[in-house]
Structure 1
Amino acid sequence: MSFTLSKEDRTILTRLEEDMWREVTRFDQTFQEQRFAADFFEFGRSGRVYTRDQIIRLDPQPIHAVLPLPNLAIRLLDKNTAHVTYNSQVEYDGIIEYARRSSIWSRTESGWVMRFHQGTPYQP
């Protein structure tokens, strides 16, 4: 069975994924509480595993990521579950790090929430 992503959902999911890379939203407690699911976890680019509590941060830090997110693609796994993939290019202390990113988002009564995220390093 194939599911079709609406233009509205594509716009919302793209904005939400990019908001994870914008300081003004990424470090906003309300945004984080609303957008990370209660059972969220992440396999970080470093290989470490992070829980929701570990990923929610209140200490803003500069984020130097390329936006819009390169090669962003979204596909529905079912009518309420979306898989978002893209490549990230982020500068940390003058060094550019690249990663292939993958997020699973679930549609809830209060909007889309991120359930899972993974970053895998690569060199272009």
Structure 2
Amino acid sequence: MDPEDVARLTALEESLWRPETRFDHEHLARVFADDFDEFGRSGRHWSREASMATEAEAFETLLPLPLLRIRSLGPDAALLTYRSETTYPESGVTLVANRSSVWQRIEGEWRLRFHQGTPTR
């Protein structure tokens, strides 16, 4: 995969783990594909609209994303896998999950089509 695409996909994925962009509706509208959906760490299904409507909350995620791996699925598609370690300061709870994201280049821009989180220890 082209190094520019690797850098762009890494930055986009990490933007979803930064509070200043995770809760920015305009940013999410640019990043999520029109048919985006997600199965979250909780097992809940999230539509594009539900994901974009999530209320802001304080959290800290370990960055760079641990165990990040990017695999090409073709000239305009990629699979990102990694582990997330997210701490919620209000409760002190840290949640860990294995994650996968499917990205597709649509009209020249990388857009997130699908994401899944699986709880782990």
- The normalised TM-score by structure 1 is 0.91
Paired position in structure 2 for 1:113: 111
1:73-88 equivalences in 2 (<5 Å) = 73-88=69-84
Q: Which amino acid aligns with 2:10?
A: T
| 1:56 alignment partner, one of 52, 64, 71 | 52
Give the Cα–Cα distance (whole angstroms) in 1 for the partners of residues 86 and 113 of structure 2: 22
Paired position in structure 1 for 2:8: 12
Q: Which amino acid aligns with 2:27?
A: F
Give the Cα–Cα distance (whole angstroms) in 1 for the partners of residues 43 and 92 of structure 2: 22
Q: Deviations over 1:34-69 (max 9, x none)?
A: 101111110110011110010003642222110110
Paired position in structure 2 for 1:38: 34
Give the Cα–Cα distance (whole angstroms) in 1 for the partners of residues 93 and 57 of structure 2: 16
Partners of 1:28 and 1:58 within 8 A in 2:
no
- Structure 1 regions of 5+ residues with no counterpart? none
- The normalised TM-score by structure 2 is 0.94
Partners of 1:65 and 1:91 within 8 A in 2:
yes
Identical amino acids, percent of aligned pairs = 45
* C-alpha RMSD of the superposition: 1.1
- Structure 2 regions of 5+ residues with no counterpart? none
Q: Which amino acid aligns with 2:26?
A: T
In structure 2, do the counterparts of structure 1 residues 58 and 97 end up closer, same or farther at CA, with 3 Å as the change threshold? closer
Give the Cα–Cα distance (whole angstroms) in 2 for the partners of residues 84 and 53 of structure 1: 22
Structure 1 residue ranges, 4+ long, deviating more than 3 angstroms after superposition? none
